[in-house]
Amino acid sequence: MNDDEMLYTDDELLPESKSARKRQMHALQNLGEQLVALTAAQLAKLDLDNEALLEAVTLAQRINHHSGKRRQMQYIGKLMRSADAERISQALEALHEGSRKEKAREHMIEAARDALIARGDDALSEVLTVWPKADRQMLRQLSRSAVDERKKALPPSSARKLFRYLRSLPDTGADD
């Protein structure tokens, strides 16, 4: 049996291919790029324990030159090898999940505001099922004044007040 025909048993580990190592390095660099895209407040929420990585990320955020940024991103990829990439990835996912939920909540509030303005009292019962502690009179008054503003082509200040009021209400209804 020659070397080409030699079969590996399950107990033996196959050497990792260069392509596989390259894919892993690119994945780590992409994770680093996601870190660079975050704001300072979002980075603080991640609670990175790797000080060198945090400094490299903040420096990359300030670099404008293409070649310099590319080199800095490669350096971040190198630092990611020693960092706990799985924990960072999970923290990023949790951060994005929170922002997705907040966006969904904002869209739901916009839809409720638009329904109140378009359909008036017909939509009031639907809104009250989502926010049972909402003030019925306040909703009715703001939606009617928003309709009047729209008819008179005035700035939508009542629609904004209605949106802010709905946003201030706690989520206790349908999305729990």
pTM of the model: 0.54
φ, ψ dihedrals at 139, nearest 5°: -60, -45
Task: Tell me how far CA of residue 67 lies from CA of 63, 74, 86, 88, 117, in angstroms.
Answer: 10, 11, 28, 26, 52
pLDDT per position as a tens digit, 101-121: 888 889 999 999 999 889 888
Find out whether 167 and 130 touch, Cβ atoms under 8 Å. Answer: no
φ, ψ dihedrals at 170, nearest 5°: -75, 150
pLDDT per position as a tens digit, 50-87: 888 889 999 999 999 999 999 998 898 888 888 888 88
Q: Which domains does the chain have, with CATH numbers?
A: 18-83 (1.10.60), 99-168 (1.10.60.30)
Angle between helices 136-151 and 121-130 (to 10 degrees): 130
